[in-house]
């Protein structure tokens, strides 16, 4: 080694082990997810379309009817846009699709865990989302102008995803989601309901923010599929994918509420 040359640092064994284990879990998980998708499609009580008719899930109509109230509760949080967390900062596994600071979030319910402090800030919104049977997650997804979410797929057919348009840019034709081969445009107070294991991408090509309320809930399944889905979700919630994101979000939540308390 040349005099004065820096000594290369070595990864700590524990850190290296966690990194390798994470890669193995992801690789193995993808194989299992593909196999599970076939089973869950066969066990579905609501068919296996890419895009669902909202009337398949009547509880979602209450979200549409409560749109103005939902807007009134999230708007004060949007006034502090800079303080809201970037998705990539609270969910590191999303960095492939959350590439910069123009995708922000505000979580009410994450993988079955209720945010009590956010429930106090958005009580009516929380009441409405908790009426959805099989609720797993509910969060506001905020895309800043010009942001593109590349094509991606969700983790399991055991969940169905609803997107309620909360604040849709005026140029609706320039703010869209493509699900499979179909391109849809958001509408204030209306839900788009779909299977997020179908390849989809999102683009906000406007100069305004786009806000939607994302609600993930369990797909109605026959007994075998329901038992499998329960097991899958139980395991998934104990992986680093969820536990790390949960810790990072709770850390942010502490900082955010301290910020709110310090305001005049």
pLDDT tens string 214-260: 999 999 999 999 999 999 999 889 888 888 888 888 899 999 989 88
Taking 70 as the threshold, does the pLDDT of residue 190 lie above it?
Answer: yes
Which domains can be identified in the chain, with CATH numbers?
15-262 (2.60.120.330)
The SS3 call for residue 142 is strand
Q: Are 159 and 103 in contact (CB under 8 A)?
A: no
Calculate ∠ Cα 91-183-134, nearest 5°. 50
What pLDDT sits at residue 217?
97
pTM for the full predicted model: 0.87
Residue that has been written with the tokens 């204030």 in this structure: 188
Taking 70 as the threshold, does the pLDDT of residue 82 lie above it?
Answer: yes
Residue that has been written with the tokens 């788009």 in this structure: 192
Q: Which residues is 214 bridged to in the sheet?
A: 139, 163
């Amino acid at each position: 080694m040349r005099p004065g040359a820096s000594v290369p640092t070595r990864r700590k064994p524990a850190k290296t082990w966690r990194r390798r284990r994470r890669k193995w879990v992801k690789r193995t998980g993808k194989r299992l997810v593909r196999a599970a998708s076939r089973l869950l499609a066969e066990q579905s009580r609501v068919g296996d379309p890419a895009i669902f008719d909202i009337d398949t899930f009547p509880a979602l109509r209450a979200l549409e009817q409560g749109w103005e109230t939902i807007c009134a509760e999230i708007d004060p949080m949007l006034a502090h846009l800079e303080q809201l967390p970037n998705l990539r900062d609270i969910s590191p596994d999303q960095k492939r699709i959350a590439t910069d600071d123009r995708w922000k979030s505000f979580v009410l319910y994450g993988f079955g865990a209720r945010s009590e402090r956010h429930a106090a800030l958005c009580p009516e919104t929380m009441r409405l989302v908790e009426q959805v049977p099989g609720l797993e997650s509910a969060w506001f997804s905020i895309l800043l102008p010009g942001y593109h979410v590349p094509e991606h797929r969700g983790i399991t057919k055991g969940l169905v995803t609803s997107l309620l348009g909360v604040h849709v840019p005026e140029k609706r034709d320039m703010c869209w989601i493509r699900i499979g081969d179909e391109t849809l445009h958001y509408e204030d107070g209306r839900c788009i309901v779909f299977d997020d294991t179908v390849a989809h991408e999102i683009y906000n090509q406007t100069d305004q923010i786009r806000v939607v309320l994302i609600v993930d809930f369990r797909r109605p399944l026959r007994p075998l599929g329901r038992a499998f889905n329960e097991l899958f979700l139980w395991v998934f919630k104990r992986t680093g994918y969820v536990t790390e994101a949960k810790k990072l979000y709770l850390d942010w939540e502490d900082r955010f509420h301290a910020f709110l308390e310090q305001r005049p």
